[in-house]
Structure 1
Amino acid sequence: MRPLHQRYTLYSERNDTYIFVPEGEAQSLTINRTSGDITLNSPKYTVPYAAQRSQKAIYGILGLISLTLSMASIAGPSSCFNEDFFVAEYVVVITGRNLQGQIMGHDIYRATEFDLLPLAPVSALVPPHPVESHLLALVRSHFNGGNFLFSYTWDLTRRLQVQWQSRDADIGKAFWEVVDDRFFWNKFLQTKLIELATAQPHAAYGSFILPIMYGTFAIRPTFLHGRHMYLALISRRSRYRAGTRYFRRGIDDQGHVANFNETEQILLVEGQTTHGTVRAQDDSFASKLSFVQIRGSVPLFWSEINTLRYKPDLQIMDLQQTESAMHAHLTTLKQLYGPQALVNLVNQKGHEKPVKEAYERNIAQLNLPDVKYQYFDFHAECKNMRWDRISVLIDQLKDDIDKQGWFQLNIDQPKPVKVQSGTIRTNCMDNLDRTNVVQAAVAKYNLNEQLRALGILSNTDGVDDFEAFSKDFREMWADHADSIAKAYGGSGALKSDFTRTNKRTRKGALEDGYKSVMRYLKNNFFDGARQDGFDLVTGSWIPRKNPSSSLFLVTDPRPLVTRSMPPLASFSLFMICAGLTLPRSSDYSLFYYFLLWFSLFAVAMVYIIIHGIDYVSWPRLNPPTEVIYYNGPGYRSAHHGKGLHGKDEPSWKKTNWAAKVSRRTKSIVDEVELGSVKKRVD
């Protein structure tokens, strides 16, 4: 593959251009701030003498993002200020990175700092439009809150088996051409550069296109029975149907499911050595082994509607396209990974039961070959902290795991010893806590089999018999679980004490209680903005031409009575506490005082509970109104938080802004033309 530039020096020439100069003797790149044109300079180009050098080092260009048309004041010849509109386009760059580790001689970095460089010259006297400022804050929050990984020399997005299978076809191609499209997180931002690289394949534009991946990476050296090894764990999050826990569930019409993650466990084994000898980590391992699992939301059209209650309202939609969407999803998985073993951990009783029944009904109707369904009632089997019962599921999956195998490449053989011929696809409701526990157990079983096949472990030994090795394995999987849970659910993973220690403890249960409270608060009051950040960066929503048409993003359309209830409840509670704690200067009874404030507090809280849907932080770019007010065939657990009769529309729906946005997103490509970015690259 063609090399990527690893570091740039940034120059700006007045307010006209940005010049990115790579290290070495490579061609530089100029971006015109007025027109947005991108030009690859000739090898003999020299930076103008008057150009100003930036003090920050640039470690990668993530792409360009168009926000909304903004208003600038430009001084005219008569010293008056004329108002003019321009496209608010920004270059997103990496200005900070941390080395996460090294695998087979390749450095893996995590992006830690980002900068957004405005293209159009913004007047210092006039701040950006409020809509533009809001969208800027969403972009910054998204990048600062995520775990973004990249490498200049190794493809993080593809598992070892795929890299080996396509090694000949990859020769001479740029990085962006070979990465897995699902995990190319910034592909939408790279639209302009990709178009230039496609139109001019012999130019060096591809060396400026740095793909980043949203996921996790960890690698640890270990020693077992005279063999030096490295154990690595990589998770890759799909950019399709990306988002937060309650605002991205189920499947879409194209067969993409929410919270889809591919997890690869890699074992790199060196040749026979003596204890205490540590070799440099390069690509000369005696054996390379890879085992892949996947997770994703239940592939149905379903959701959980937040109403401020701890248990949201469950909504399952029996749409005509359910069968075709599920068929597309499973067929794609078979094409990518091979035969599928679907492990469903959803409860068979209570709130989750309808999801289980709908999943099983549709799977039975499809009756696809090479798709096996396996149900395991996790909570019922493991109740009373009987976590050893996970072995029951592993026993049920043994035949599938053994048949699917793993990928193994030995240094002394030109072809793989084994290839993985299928995957275990695991899901629970959130694809977080129960899924993490099961995937770790499956990975441990497979690791035992790999070490036995290599002759490092005997048939009677297991990973758990070697505490140091087992501890590394458990901690890697627990950290991996926490990262995926934070990205989707807003807090660390539940049940992670079992993953870390092989035991379920009361302390772990208390920690899970705290994490559950944090999830509740974030899912109800903060995830709307987080979801907007996902939609904006991945291209699921493209800003409008005119900022005034997007004022709904920065205004509160709810009526005064709705907005006044939280302050009223807070002030009433304050007055009650003041009456109970402050010293009294008279002997008059406070009965009527407390009656007044208790009554106001009760009225405010009852109103908030009845109209709970009005107080949830909903996404504003792509509001889920069609899901909330779905009245077709399917299942609805309740209609909480929607007024006294459970049918009232929320204030933000009555203003029609949400409905307009929903209609607009269906024809987004035809309606929006910002600069040269006219379509989304998929």
Structure 2
Amino acid sequence: MSELKSEQIKNVEKSLNSTNTIEPLNAPKNESEGLILNKFSLYETKTRFYILGTNQNEEKYRVLKIDRTVPEELIITDDDVIYSKQEIVQLLAMIEDGNKISGGLHRIARFFGIIGFVKFLEGYYMIIITKRSAVALLGGHYIYHIDDTLLISIPGQGVKIDKKQNEAKYLQIFSQVDLTKNCYFSYTYDITCSLQHNLSRKPGRQNFLQNEMFIWNYYLLKNGFKSFKSSWVLPIIHGFVDQSKISIYGHIVNVTLIARRSRHFAGARFLKRGVNDEGYVANDVETEQIVHDAKTTSFYLPPGRYGNKPSFTSFLQHRGSIPLYWSQDTSTMAPKPPIHVNVVDPYYSAAALHFDNMFKRYGFPIIVLNLVKTKEKTKRESILLDEFTQAVSYLNQTLPQSKQIKYIAWDMARASKSEDQDVIGILEDIAEYVINTTGFFHSGAEPTINAMRKSGQTGVVRTNCVDCLDRTNAAQFVIGKCALAHQLYALGILSHPSLPFDTDAVNLLNAMYHDHGDTIALQYGGSHLVNTMETYRKIAPWTSHSRDMIESIRRYYSNSFTDAEKQNAINLFLGNYIPSDDQPLLWELPTDYHLHNKNNQVMRPLRS
């Protein structure tokens, strides 16, 4: 084995012995930041962890060092040097030789990415991805599902740790966030942002500008890395990803659904309702519907045509709780607890912040589709209807006519029980209005007959019912069905932008949105969808009604008996609550209100 050059050995030793953390967020770009790492090995000595990261072809390597001697601190050294395979073998031999007296160097894991770092009351832990599976392919970029993870204690053996009585309890709560359910990542594609956003910037991982509200491991990554442009940083989203292939008139088309759940004001159904004082709402989910010609394999080939890929289309929708301060009293043990508007906000400041954020994310206009009930024997949902209607009316007074919130209120539940109302027909009319108003993204030239249509989506439809689950998902499917027809038309596959029900393409999309809705319902409500498209199309058999009753009971049980533990786990994972000796224990807090609402007395006007 040849020796490392003397100058390189000096550089390696200097890097390995350095205790400086990595460069800050505004650090200059370098070659190491552009290297895509997707295979990792974890080695340990008595005093350090060494993580080796390499690219797909295992031609280039980087090294990350983690100190194991100071449990109360996380000391990470990012070596900027890019090594060849031969050089990394020599480096490992050097580390092995230098640690013979204390036990040597041992490889303890091969893995696929670092989720992040967390500390409770004792030392730090590292969470890594040990199993993955590819679930989608977009323009040559794989999207993976996390199949298994491993949590590793960082302090080494023999390191003196001040033992804490409640460390094991926090570890048990943290482990209740199951990262193997509905968590996704990509090494080369920014899944926190829309296709429209990603194709509007130059290719390359160093140009990622992640949408931090959808980075589910944001807090865990921030504990270990000061730069989100680091090659070691791997953002994950929590939500839903599904991809299906279908043949339409001889064209093979891929349909992809990506749902991104916001990390802000996240939690379980009855414990997270409405809005917090920063304008973030409960059950905030962005759903993207991507339709592209399957024969197109890359965004960036052929060279010189970046940003003009006529085979890719995308449409965005949004769901989120009604942006008012409201809650439900679960102490009565009623299946449908009463609804209360908790805080009188005469200027609708929280709603203003919420829509302000939506304008920045999606542009104008924002179309609100409010599906709560309008008439009830005992006022419940209609309390929110009246208040939300007033809120939108008030906020529109501060906006110019061209940028006002477009508000549609429709009692979908009442319509579905009526014999003379066509629920699907009404939703299809709303869907056509939405598509014609916001448009959708098409990366490339339109067919000549459609050349005047804008190629990008501006604005979004924001759908809600009370839970933003059953009615919302059915409405989103019908809007998605309408968008699919327009997307296929833009790709030159359909001669007219319309698709009837009970065709292969619509049945496929229906199945995808059903899985999408089930997943979101399990994440937020603790059960599957109660009402499906068959319910609203009025073709559900009695067995379906029985299933709906069972799911209602499951949702009620989850909300009544397991949501408190679920909420504690989410708050711990997302960093809403950070354990320390000088504050109350997480499980002894009477409420987590202060974790999500810090200054709700502040009233701010809506910015135009």
Whether the TM-score (by the shorter chain) exceeds 0.5 is yes
Secondary structure of the residue aligned to 2:287 is strand
SS of the residue corresponding to residue 452 of structure 1 reads helix
Cα distance in 2 for partners of 1:53, 1:322 equals 62
1:376 corresponds to which of 400, 410, 426:
410
Equivalent of 1:356, from 355, 368, 385? 385
* Distance (Å, rounded) in 2 between the aligned partners of 1:477 and 1:108: 19
Letter in 1 for 2:460: T
Write the mapping of 1:53-452 to structure 2, written as runs, cut at 5 A. 53-68=106-121, 87-121=122-156, 129-144=164-179, 146-165=181-200, 167-168=201-202, 173=206, 175=208, 178-195=209-226, 197=227, 206-269=230-293, 279=295, 281-283=297-299, 286-307=310-331, 308-320=333-345, 323-338=348-363, 339-348=365-374, 349=376, 350=378, 351-367=380-396, 368=399, 369-383=403-417, 388-396=422-430, 398-410=432-444, 418-452=455-489
Give the Cα separation in 2 of the matches to 1:663 and 1:29. 33
Q: For 1:158, give the aligned amino acid.
A: C
Q: In 2, are the aligned partners of 1:305 and 1:314 still within 8 Å (CA)?
A: yes
Residue by residue, what CA displacement relative to the aligned partner does 1:372-414 show, whole Å, maximum 9, x if unpaired?
110010111111688841321332453342121111112799x
| CA offsets 1:300-337 (integer angstroms, 9 cap, x no match) | 00111211222223221233476121111112212221
d(CA) in 2 for partners of 1:390 and 1:479? Answer: 20
**Counterpart-to-counterpart distance in 2, 1:89 and 1:370:** 48
Larger Rg computed on CA atoms: 1
Identity of aligned residues (%): 29
Cα distance in 2 for partners of 1:515, 1:220 equals 27
Counterparts of 2:330 and 2:491, CA distance in 1: 50
Counterpart in 2 of 1:462?
A: 499
Q: Give the secondary structure class of the aligned counterpart of 1:450.
A: helix
Query: Which residue number corresponds to residue 51 of structure 2?
Result: 20
Query: More displaced, 390-399 or 516-525?
Result: 390-399
2:532 alignment partner in structure 1: 496
Contact 1:474–1:501 (Cα < 8 Å) also in 2: no
Q: CA deviation at 1:124?
A: 12
**Shift in alpha-carbon separation, 1:621–1:263, aligned structure 2, 3 A:** farther
Give the AA of the match of 1:12: E
Structure 1 residues 135 and 411: CA distance shift in structure 2, 3 A? farther
Tell me the CA shift for residue 371 of structure 1.
Answer: 0.5
How many Å separate the matches in 2 of 1:209 and 1:551? 31
Question: What SS is found at the alignment partner of 1:464?
Answer: coil
Task: Note if 1:486 corresponds to 2:486.
Answer: no
Question: 538, 554, 559: which one pairs with 2:574?
Answer: 538
Do residues 516 (structure 1) and 552 (structure 2) align?
A: yes
1:456 aligns to what SS in structure 2? coil
Q: Secondary structure at the match of 1:189?
A: helix
Say which of 33, 36, 41 aligns to 1:4.
36
Q: Are 1:623 and 2:575 counterparts?
A: no
After superposition, the Cα gap between the structure-2 partners of 1:358 and 1:500, relative to the gap in structure 1 and judged at 3 Å, is: closer
The list of structure 1 runs, each at least 4 consecutive aligned residues, that deviate by more than 6 angstroms after superposition, is 122-128, 499-502
| Alignment match, 1:37 | 75
Deviations 1:219-268 (A, max 9, x none): 11111112121111111110111111011111111111111111111110
Q: Is the 8 A contact 1:182 1:238 kept in 2?
A: yes
Residue 451 of structure 1, CA deviation: 2.6
C-alpha distance in structure 2 between counterparts of 1:193 and 1:92, whole Å: 11
CA distance in 2, matches of 1:524, 1:5: 44
Letter in 2 for 1:422: G
Q: Is the 8 A contact 1:478 1:499 kept in 2?
A: no
Q: 1:321 to 1:241 in 2, by over 3 A?
A: farther
Q: CA–CA distance in 1 between the matches of 2:423 and 2:278?
A: 37
Matches of 1:449 and 1:516, distance apart in 2: 36
Change (3 A) 1:454 1:171: closer
Instruction: Give the aligned CA root-mean-square deviation in angstroms.
Output: 3.1
* 1:61 CA drift (Å): 0.7
SS at match of 1:97: strand
Distance 1:524 1:385 in 2: 35
| Alpha-carbon distance, 1:126 to partner | 10
> How many pairs are equivalent?
523
Local SS of the residue matching 2:128: strand
Provide the secondary structure at the position in 1 that maps to 2:435.
helix
Contact 2:486–2:497 at 8 Å: present in 1 too? no
Deviation, 1:173, is 2.4
Q: Kindly indicate whether the alpha-carbon contact (under 8 Å) linking 2:146 and 2:180 is maintained by their aligned counterparts in 1.
A: no
Which letter does structure 2 place at the counterpart of 1:9? S
Moved more, 102-111 or 364-373: 364-373
Separation in 2, partners of 1:345, 1:412: 34
Render the CA deviation track for 1:169-206: whole Å, top value 9, x for unaligned. x757264xx111111111111114432x37xxxxxx70
Cα pair distance change 1:258/1:138, threshold 3 Å: same
In structure 2, distance between residues paired with 1:386 and 1:331: 39
Alpha-carbon distance in 2 for matches of 1:663, 1:264: 30
- Per-residue CA deviations over 1:586-632 (Å, capped at 9, x if unaligned) read xxxxxxxxxxxxxxxxxxxxxxxxxxxxxxxxxx55715x6xxxxxx
Native 8 Å contact 1:495 1:504 kept in 2:
no
Deviates more, 1:254-263 or 1:185-194: 185-194
1:370 is aligned with what amino acid?
Q
Structure with more helix by fraction: 1
User: What is the 5 A alignment of 1:46-57?
Assistant: 46-47=91-92, 48-49=95-96, 50=100, 51-57=104-110
Q: Which moved more, 1:305-314 or 1:151-160?
A: 305-314
The one-letter amino acid paired with 1:309 is A
1:458 Cα shift?
3.7
Task: Find the residue that maps to 2:423 and give its secondary structure.
Answer: helix
Residue 361 of structure 1 deviates from its aligned partner by: 1.5
Deviation at residue 123 of structure 1 after TM alignment: 7.1
- Helix, strand or coil at the partner of 1:541: coil
